Homo-oligomer: A and B are copies of this chain.
Amino acid sequence: MSDSINPVDIVLFSVDPVIMTLIDDNLHVLAVKRTSEPFKGLWGLPGGRVDKACKNLDEALALKLKQKTGLDSIYFEQLQTYGSNEMDPRGWSVTTAYLSLVHKDSIDFIALPESHSRPEWIPLKSVVNGKIEMAFWHKQIISDAFERLKSKSLYTDLPANLMAPLFTIATLRSAYEAILGCELTRQSFAKRMESANIFIKTDKVELGSHRAPPLYRKRSRGGNYYFPRQLMD
């Protein structure tokens, strides 16, 4: 065999970040209206081809996040790679899906370049139940991303990435409840977070509520924390 490239060895390849945030205790996904074929006019994930100037996949994804959200150093993890001859009418294609979690206020939509149509937050629910039609396999990808978020939220601090830089334990609990779709006892939740020692209590408090709760911030930026036990469902 020679080391030249055989056309049967190549495929269409893209990366697709599922960028999620919480708005009014409901998960939303960042999407853009497609301005080109295929699936022109439908909503799609803000992904696309990798910039081959990047030296690896994660760097390519980080660049895409920067372009679509204006943010760098936001949380993301690789989810799953989909390959099929049915995803894209142009042929056998492969896409690697990522999950990225952000706080909604961290994105400054006004500052984004106008080059294409602006991204928008659309409710996760309306994607999963099919009310909003998505391009390619993006409905499947978003559903899988949500399932991953849900199951990892049972034993990791993943939802903490949805928080603003300073947040209360109650806000974090709301995030868990929104993701898991069930209520969590206030005291047990606080004990769990307290004993994990992954957040730092600041001397600031959140004003405006009844008894002002302390604000916390995340300790390190190195990977997820795994709780020794699952939250029981």
List the interface of chain A (C-beta within 8 A of B): 1-5, 8-14, 35-38, 49-50, 52, 55-57, 60, 78, 80-86, 89-92, 94, 96, 155, 226, 228-230, 232
Cβ of A52: which chain B residues have Cβ within 8 Å of it?
A: 8, 85, 92
Are B83 and A56 in touch, CB under 8 angstroms?
yes
Cβ of A11: which chain B residues have Cβ within 8 Å of it?
A: 10-11, 13, 50
Are A91 and B228 in touch, CB under 8 angstroms?
no
A sample of 19 cross-chain residue pairs with beta-carbon separation below 8 angstroms, ordered by A number, consists of A3-B36, A3-B38, A3-B89, A4-B90, A5-B12, A5-B90, A8-B49, A9-B49, A10-B13, A13-B94, A52-B85, A56-B82, A56-B83, A57-B94, A60-B83, A94-B94, A155-B155, A228-B230, A228-B232
| Copies of this chain, whole number | 2
- B12, B96, B155: which contacts A83 (Cβ < 8 A)? B96
Cβ of A5: which chain B residues have Cβ within 8 Å of it?
A: 12, 90-91
Name 6 extra pairs, CB < 8 A, besides A55-B86, A57-B94, A83-B96: A1-B35, A3-B89, A8-B49, A50-B83, A56-B83, A78-B80
In whole angstroms, how far apart are the Cα atoms of A83 and B56 in the complex?
Answer: 5
Asked whether A1 and B49 contact (CB < 8 A) given A83-B57, A94-B57, the answer is no
Cβ of A13: which chain B residues have Cβ within 8 Å of it?
A: 9-11, 13, 83, 94
Output the nearest chain B residue to A56 by Cβ-Cβ distance: B84
Asked whether A228 and B229 contact (CB < 8 A) given A9-B49, A50-B83, the answer is yes
- B1, B50, B83: which contacts A37 (Cβ < 8 A)? B1
Are B81 and A96 in touch, CB under 8 angstroms?
yes
In whole angstroms, how far apart are the Cα atoms of A90 and B1 in the complex?
Answer: 13
Output the nearest chain B residue to A60 by Cβ-Cβ distance: B83
Asked whether A12 and B12 contact (CB < 8 A) given A1-B37, A57-B83, A85-B52, the answer is no
Q: Which of A8, A81, A94, A232 has the most CB of B within 10 A?
A: A81
Are B55 and A82 in touch, CB under 8 angstroms?
no
Cβ of A84: which chain B residues have Cβ within 8 Å of it?
A: 55-57
In whole angstroms, how far apart are the Cα atoms of A85 and B57 in the complex?
Answer: 10
Are A10 and B8 in touch, CB under 8 angstroms?
no
Output the nearest chain B residue to A53 by Cβ-Cβ distance: B85
